[in-house]
Amino acid sequence: MVILSKPSSFFNGVPLIDLSKHDSKNLIVKACEEFGFFKVINHNVPMEFISKLESEAIKFFSSSLSEKLKTGPADPFGYGNKQIGPNGDIGWVEYILLSTNTEFNYHKFASILGVNPETIRAAVNDYVSAVKKMSCEILEMLAEGLKIQPKNVFSKLLMDEKSDSVFRVNHYPPCPDIQDFSGKNLIGFGEHTDPQIISVLRSNNTSGLQILLKDGHWISVPPDENSFFVNVGDSLQVMTNGRFKSLKHRVLTNNVKSRLSMIYFGGPPMSEKIAPLPSLMEGEDSSLYKEFTWFEYKKSAYKTRLADNRLIHFEKI
Site string for ligand GA4, 148-167 (x = CB under 6 A): ------------------x-
As a whole number of angstroms, the distance between CA 102 and CA 97 comes to 13
Half-sphere exposure of 160 (CA within 13 A, CB side): 18
Give how far Cα 45 sits from Cα of 50, 227, 230, Å.
8, 10, 14
Say whether 129 sits in a helix, a strand or coil. helix
Q: Which one, of 191, 184, 291, 161, lies nearest residue 239 by Cα?
A: 291
243 belongs to the catalytic site: no
As a whole number of angstroms, the distance between CA 258 and CA 39 comes to 22
Stretch of residues binding ligand GA4 (CB under 6 A), selected from 54-62, 79-87, 222-230, 243-251: 79-87
Minimum CB distance to ligand GA4, residue 76 (Å): 5
Whose Cβ is closer to ligand GA4: residue 18's or residue 308's?
A: 308
State the pairing for strand pair 16-18/209-212: unpaired
Q: Which helix (H) or strand (E) holds 206?
A: none
Annotated catalytic residue, options 168, 259, 305, 310: 259
As a whole number of angstroms, the distance between CA 197 and CA 255 comes to 33
Residues in 112-131 at the binding interface with ligand GA4, rule: CB under 6 A: none
Stretch of residues binding ligand GA4 (CB under 6 A), selected from 20-28, 82-90, 139-147, 219-227: 82-90
Residues in 181-220 at the binding interface with ligand GA4, rule: CB under 6 A: 192, 194-195
- State yes or no: residue 301 binds ligand GA4 (CB under 6 A): yes
DSSP assignment letter at 223: P
Minimum CB distance to ligand GA4, residue 40 (Å): 19
Which residues contact ligand GA4 by CB under 6 A? 76, 84-85, 87, 89, 97, 166, 168, 192, 194-195, 265, 301-302, 304, 306
Catalytic residues: 259
